[in-house]
Amino acid sequence: AYNFCAGPAALPEAVLKQAQVEMLDYHGKGLSVMEMSHRSADYVAIAEQAEQDLRDLMNIPSNYKVLFLQGGASQQFAMIPMNLLRGKTTADYVNTGMWSDKAIKEAKKFCQVNVVASDEANGFRKVPDVATWQVNPDAAYLHYTPNETIHGVQFDFIPDSSVSLVADYSSIILAEPLDVSKFGLIYAGAQKNIGPAGLVVVIVREDLLGQVVPGTPTMLDYKIHADNGSMYNTPSTYAWYLSGLVFQWLKAQGGLEKMGEINRRKAAKLYAAIDGSEFYGNPVALPNRSMMNVPFTLAKPELEKTFLKEADAAGLLNLAGHRSVGGMRASIYNAVAEEGVDALVAFMADFARRYG
Ligand code: PLP
- Kindly report, residue by residue over 244-300, the tens digit of the pLDDT: 999 999 999 999 999 999 999 999 999 999 999 999 999 999 999 999 999 999 999
Q: Which helix (H) or strand (E) holds 342?
A: helix 338-355
Q: Is the pLDDT of residue 212 over 90?
A: yes
Q: For residue 97, how many other CB atoms are within 10 A of its CB?
A: 23
- Report yes or no: 201 and 187 within 8 Å, Cβ to Cβ: yes
Query: Is 39 flagged in the annotation as binding?
Result: yes
pLDDT at 256: 98
Query: Is 83 flagged in the annotation as binding?
Result: no
Q: Is the pLDDT of residue 150 over 90?
A: yes
Q: Is the pLDDT of residue 228 over 90?
A: yes
Ligand 1: does its nearest atom lie under 6 Å from the Cβ of 263? Answer: no
Within 70-227, strands assigned E span: 90-95, 112-118, 141-144, 147-148, 153-154, 164-168, 185-189, 200-205
Q: For residue 278, how many other CB atoms are within 10 A of its CB?
A: 8
Q: For residue 4, how many other CB atoms are within 10 A of its CB?
A: 24
Atom index in ligand 1 nearest the CA of residue 76 equals 16
Within 18-145, strands assigned E span: 64-69, 90-95, 112-118, 141-144
pLDDT at 35: 98
pLDDT tens per residue, range 105-139: 999 999 999 999 999 999 999 999 999 999 999 99
326 pLDDT tier (thresholds 50, 70, 90) = confident
Query: Is 112 flagged in the annotation as binding?
Result: no
Reported ipTM: 0.99
Give the residue, out of 145, 170, 291, with the most ligand 1 atoms within 8 A of its beta carbon, to mutate for a pocket test: 170
What's the one-letter identity of residue 55? Answer: R
* Cα dihedral 74→77→80→81 (10° resolution): -150
Ligand 1: does its nearest atom lie under 6 Å from the Cβ of 71? Answer: no
Q: Which residues contact 43 (CB under 8 A, 6 or more apart)?
A: 33, 36, 37, 237, 241
What's the one-letter identity of residue 82? Answer: M
In the chain, what are the domains? 13-253 (3.40.640.10), 254-355 (3.90.1150.10)
pLDDT at 229: 98
How far is the centre of ligand 1, averaged over its atoms, from the C-alpha of 20 (Å)?
27
Cα distance between the two ends of the chain:
25
Atom index in ligand 1 nearest the CA of residue 77 equals 10
pLDDT tens per residue, range 157-176: 999 999 999 999 999 999 99
Measure the CA–CA gap between 222 and 211, rounded to whole angstroms: 10
Eight-state DSSP code of residue 213: P
Please give the mean pLDDT across all residues of the chain: 97
Atom index in ligand 1 nearest the CA of residue 74 equals 16
Burial class (CB in 10 A: 0-12, 13-18, 19+), 11: buried
User: Residues with catalytic annotation?
Assistant: 99, 168, 192
Measure the CA–CA gap between 301 and 308, rounded to whole angstroms: 12
Measure the CA–CA gap between 104 and 106, rounded to whole angstroms: 5
Query: Is 191 flagged in the annotation as binding?
Result: yes
User: Comparing C-alpha atoms, which of 71, 69, 87, 107 is closest to residue 214?
Assistant: 87
User: Comparing C-alpha atoms, which of 279, 265, 281 is closest to residue 342?
Assistant: 265
The stretch 14-43 carries a mean pLDDT of 97
Eight-state DSSP code of residue 119: -
Give the residue, out of 143, 149, 192, 236, with the most ligand 1 atoms within 8 A of its beta carbon, to mutate for a pocket test: 149
Q: Is the pLDDT of residue 325 over 90?
A: no
Q: Of all residues in the chain, what percent carry a pLDDT higher than 90?
A: 99
Burial class (CB in 10 A: 0-12, 13-18, 19+), 32: middle
- Report yes or no: 10 and 335 within 8 Å, Cβ to Cβ: yes
The stretch 329-345 carries a mean pLDDT of 98
Measure the CA–CA gap between 180 and 187, rounded to whole angstroms: 11
